C-alpha cells in the first residue's frame, strides 16, 4: 500500500498557477520527529520509516505525487511583489478515508523557479520551531497548518553561519492565500481570478456554489474566517509577526511560523520580529492589518463583484466597512469569555478595559493573569501574583460573575476553555530548540507532550508557566529564511 493517497486537483488549474518541479535530493536523511497522532488522523499507511524518510526528504517521489511549486504574489509590509514557493514543493493532495483533502508540502526542499537567487533550503532550528509552534497552536484550538515530520538532510546550509539543513512536512487544508488571488488578478486577468474563485469555492466552501453573487459571498466568508482567526490569536496572546497577504490563508488557517512569538507581559505594542522595525504587525495592530489584507483581497474580486467598476467598488467598500463593528463584537465576546461572562451586561466593557489597563500599568503576564483569577493555587506566588492594585477590580469581577446564571462555577468552566494554562513561552521554546540543535531532543519532546493538553493543569507544567521578563524584553525572532 502507498503511504499517501494522492490526488492533484490544483494541477487542473491553468499552468500559470504553478511550475512542475521535483524536490531536491539530500545526502543523508534522518527522521528527527514524526507526528504519529497526525499520521493517524490522515489515515497514512506507514509501513516502514525508511520509505517515509525517503519521500519526506525529497529523495523519492511517492506514487501518485505530481510535485509543483505554487505561484502567488503578495503585499509584504505593504509593498506589492511577485513571489511563489521559493523553498517549498507541494507533493500533492492527500485524501483521507473520509474524503478530506490535505496539502502535503515539503518546506526547505530546494530551489524552484521562484527561489529568487536563494538556495531553497531550510535550517534545522526554524523547521523544528514551526513543528513545535504549529502543533501547540492546534492543541490551543487555533485553526492552523500542521507539522507531520522534520527530516535532517545531512547538508550544510550557509546563512550568517553554517547551519544544519532540514525539511519540514507541512499539512494544510490548502495553501491558497490572498496572495494567490493577487497573482491571478495582476499577473493574469479576470479569467484567472474567476477560475481560482470557482476552484476555491468548490474545494473549501461548497455551500457558496449557488450564491447569487459568488464573489461577494466568498469575500464575506473569508472575512468572517479571518476575524475569527485573529480574535483567537488575541485570546492566547499570539503575535504572528509577518502578516503579509501571502501569509493570509483563504481557509483561515495560521501558517508561516517564522517570526511569531507569544506575549508575556500585557502590552498591545508588543513586537518581537526583527524585520518589523516599525511595529506594523504588533500584537494590538493585528486586527487593523487583517482588515487591510482583506481590502487587498476584495480588490482582486472587483471584476467579479459587478461588471460596473464603480458599483463593484461600492460593494467591496461596503463589505470591508462592516469589519470594524463585526470584529469588535467578536473581540468583546472573546474577552468576556476569558472572564467567565456568558451574558454580557452594561458595564462589562469597562470591566475588561480596567483589567487590561491594570495589566499594562503593572506589567503583568497576560496568560497568567487570567489563570490567577480562576486558580491562583497553581501559580508560585514568588513568580506571579496580582498585587493590591488589582484588589478593587477583583472584588467587582467576583461580584459580577456571582450574578451570572450558574454563578462562579459556571463562569470558571467558561474561563477554563478560553484561557490556556500552558503556552509555548519564548524562553522555553528557545531552550528546547538550542538543545535540539545539539542533538538533544528531550526538552523539545517534553514541551510537545505538555502542549497537547494546554487547558488542563498538570504539575509537570510548573517550570514552563513562567518566563524571565528580561528575556522577553530582549527577545527577537527571525523569519528563518
Residue 37 lies in a domain: yes
Residue 466 lies in a domain: no
- pLDDT band for position 295 (cuts 50, 70, 90): very high
The whole-angstrom separation of Cα 302 and Cα 315 is 9
Q: In the prediction, which pLDDT does 480 show?
A: 67
Distance CA 330, CA 290 (A): 14
3-class state of residue 66 by DSSP: coil
Is it the case that residue 209 has pLDDT exceeding 70?
Answer: yes
Residue 263 lies in a domain: yes
230 and 120, same domain (yes or no): no
Q: What is the pLDDT of residues 42-78, one digit of tens each?
A: 999 887 777 899 999 999 999 999 999 999 999 999 9
In a domain, 422, yes or no: no
Residue in the block written with cell 501569509: 247
pLDDT at 219 over 70: yes
Model pLDDT, residue 470: 87
Does the pLDDT of residue 448 top 90, yes or no? yes
70 near 10, Cβ under 8 Å? Answer: yes
Asked if the model's pLDDT at residue 191 lies above 60, the reply is yes
Q: How many angstroms from the chain centroid is the CA of residue 90?
A: 19
Q: What average pLDDT does the segment 473-481 reach?
A: 82
Does residue 6 register a pLDDT over 90? yes
* Residues 117, 191 within the same domain: no
**Model confidence at 38: pLDDT above 90:** yes
The Cα–Cα gap between 118 and 190 comes to: 32
Picking from 274, 299, 273, 298, the residue whose alpha carbon sits closest to that of residue 286 is: 273
Q: What is the DSSP letter of 54?
A: H
- Residues 125-130 have a mean pLDDT of 97
Judge if 302 and 182 occupy the same domain: yes
Residue 406 lies in a domain: no
Torsion of CA 280, 283, 286, 288, to 10 degrees: -70
- What integer is the mean pLDDT of 436-442? 95
- Structural Rg of the chain based on CA atoms: 23
**How many percent of the chain have pLDDT more than 90?**
95
Over residues 163-172, the mean pLDDT reads 97
16 and 163 assigned to the same domain: yes
What domain range is 288 assigned to? 178-331
Task: Give residue 468's pLDDT.
Answer: 85
Helix and strand element counts for the chain (H, E)? 16, 12
d(CA 306, CA 315): 8
Between the CA of residue 143 and those of 95, 225, 226, 365, what are the distances in Å? Answer: 19, 10, 10, 24
Mean pLDDT of the 439-454 span: 97
State pLDDT tens for residues 345-373. Answer: 999 999 999 999 999 999 999 999 999 99
Same-domain status, 66 and 193:
no
Q: Domain check: are 160 and 19 in the same one?
A: yes
Domains identified in the chain, total number: 2
- The rounded distance, in Å, linking the Cα atoms of 61 and 55 is 6
Q: According to the model, what pLDDT value does residue 149 have?
A: 98
**Do 41 and 10 fall within a single domain?**
yes
Tell whether 120 and 204 lie within a shared domain: no
Residue 272 lies in a domain: yes
**Is 377 a member of any domain?**
no
Q: Using alpha carbons, list the distances in angstroms from residue 30 to 40, 61, 152, 159, 369.
A: 21, 17, 5, 22, 42
Strand-pair category, 238-239 with 261-262: antiparallel
Return the active site residues: 246
CA–CA gap between residue 107 and residue 90 (Å, rounded): 9
Choose the final residue of a domain: 331, 356, 374.
331
Query: What does the block give as the cell for 220?
Result: 464575506
pLDDT at 1 (0 to 100): 62
pLDDT at 164 over 60: yes
One domain for residues 155 and 211: no
Other Cβ atoms closer than 10 A to 308: 10
Nearest CA-CA partner of 300 in 314, 313, 318, 319: 313
415 part of a folded domain: no
User: Of 156, 172, 188, which marks where a domain is finished?
Assistant: 172
Q: Are residues 89 and 117 in the same domain?
A: yes
Half-sphere exposure of 440 (CA within 13 A, CB side): 7
Q: Report which of 229, 233, 103 is spatially closest to residue 169, judged by C-alpha positions.
A: 103
* 441 Cβ contact partners less than 8 Å away, ≥ 6 residues apart: 32, 33, 435
Q: Of 116, 141, 172, at which residue does a domain stop? A: 172
Give yes or no for residue 481 having a pLDDT over 60.
no
Over 80: is that where the pLDDT of 378 sits? yes
* One domain for residues 140 and 163: yes
CA proximity to 271, closest of 476, 481, 480: 476
**Residues 257 and 311 occupy one common structural domain:** yes
Place of cell 486586527: 287
**Rounded Cα gap, residues 353 and 385, in angstroms:** 20
Amino acid at each position: 500500500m502507498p503511504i499517501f493517497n494522492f490526488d492533484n486537483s490544483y494541477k487542473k488549474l491553468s499552468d500559470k498557477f504553478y511550475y512542475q518541479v521535483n524536490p531536491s535530493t539530500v545526502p543523508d536523511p534522518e527522521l528527527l520527529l514524526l507526528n504519529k497522532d497526525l499520521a493517524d488522523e490522515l489515515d497514512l499507511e506507514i509501513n516502514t520509516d525508511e520509505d517515509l524518510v525517503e519521500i519526506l526528504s525529497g529523495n523519492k517521489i511517492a506514487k501518485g505525487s505530481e510535485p509543483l511549486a505554487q505561484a502567488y504574489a503578495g503585499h509584504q509590509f505593504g509593498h506589492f511583489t511577485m513571489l511563489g514557493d521559493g523553498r517549498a514543493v507541494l507533493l500533492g493532495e492527500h485524501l483521507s478515508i473520509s474524503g478530506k483533502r490535505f496539502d502535503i508540502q515539503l518546506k526547505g526542499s530546494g530551489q524552484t523557479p521562484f527561489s529568487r537567487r536563494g538556495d531553497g533550503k531550510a535550517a534545522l532550528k526554524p523547521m523544528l520551531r514551526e513543528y513545535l509552534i504549529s502543533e501547540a497552536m492546534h492543541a490551543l484550538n487555533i485553526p492552523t497548518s500542521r507539522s507531520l515530520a522534520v527530516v535532517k538532510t545531512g547538508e550544510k546550509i550557509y546563512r550568517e553561519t553554517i547551519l544544519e539543513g532540514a525539511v519540514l512536512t507541512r499539512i494544510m487544508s490548502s495553501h491558497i492565500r490572498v496572495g494567490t488571488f493577487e497573482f491571478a488578478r495582476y499577473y493574469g486577468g479576470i479569467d484567472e481570478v474567476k477560475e481560482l474563485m470557482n476552484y476555491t469555492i468548490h474545494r473549501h466552501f461548497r455551500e457558496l456554489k449557488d450564491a447569487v453573487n459568488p464573489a461577494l459571498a466568498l469575500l464575506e466568508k473569508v472575512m468572517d474566517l479571518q476575524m475569527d482567526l485573529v480574535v483567537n490569536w488575541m485570546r492566547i496572546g499570539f503575535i504572528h509577526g509577518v502578516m503579509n497577504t501571502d501569509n493570509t490563508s483563504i481557509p483561515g488557517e495560521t501558517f508561516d511560523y517564522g517570526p511569531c512569538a507569544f506575549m508575556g507581559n500585557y502590552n498591545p505594542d508588543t513586537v518581537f520580529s526583527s524585520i518589523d522595525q516599525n511595529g506594523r504587525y504588533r500584537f494590538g495592530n493585528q486586527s487593523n492589518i487583517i482588515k487591510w489584507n482583506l481590502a487587498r483581497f476584495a480588490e482582486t474580486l472587483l471584476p467579479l463583484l459587478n461588471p460596473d467598476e464603480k458599483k463593484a467598488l461600492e460593494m467591496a467598500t461596503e463589505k470591508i466597512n462592516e469589519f470594524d463593528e463585526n470584529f469588535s463584537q467578536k473581540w468583546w465576546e472573546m474577552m468576556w469569555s476569558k472572564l467567565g461572562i456568558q451574558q454580557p451586561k452594561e458595564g462589562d466593557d469597562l470591566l475588561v478595559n480596567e483589567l487590561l489597563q491594570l495589566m499594562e500599568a503593572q506589567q503583568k503576564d497576560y496568560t497568567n493573569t487570567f489563570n490567577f483569577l480562576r486558580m491562583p493555587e497553581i501559580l508560585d506566588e514568588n513568580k506571579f501574583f496580582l498585587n493590591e492594585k488589582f484588589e478593587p477590580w477583583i472584588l467587582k469581577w467576583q461580584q459580577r460573575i456571582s450574578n451570572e446564571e450558574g454563578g462562579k462555577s459556571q463562569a470558571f468552566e467558561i474561563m477554563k476553555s478560553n484561557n490556556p494554562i500552558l503556552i509555548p513561552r519564548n524562553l522555553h521554546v528557545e531552550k528546547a530548540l538550542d538543545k535540539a540543535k545539539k542533538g538533544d531532543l528531550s526538552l523539545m519532546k517534553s514541551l510537545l507532550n505538555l502542549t497537547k493538553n494546554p487547558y488542563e493543569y498538570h504539575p509537570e507544567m510548573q517550570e514552563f508557566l513562567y518566563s524571565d521578563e528580561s528575556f522577553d524584553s530582549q527577545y527577537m525572532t527571525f523569519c528563518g529564511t
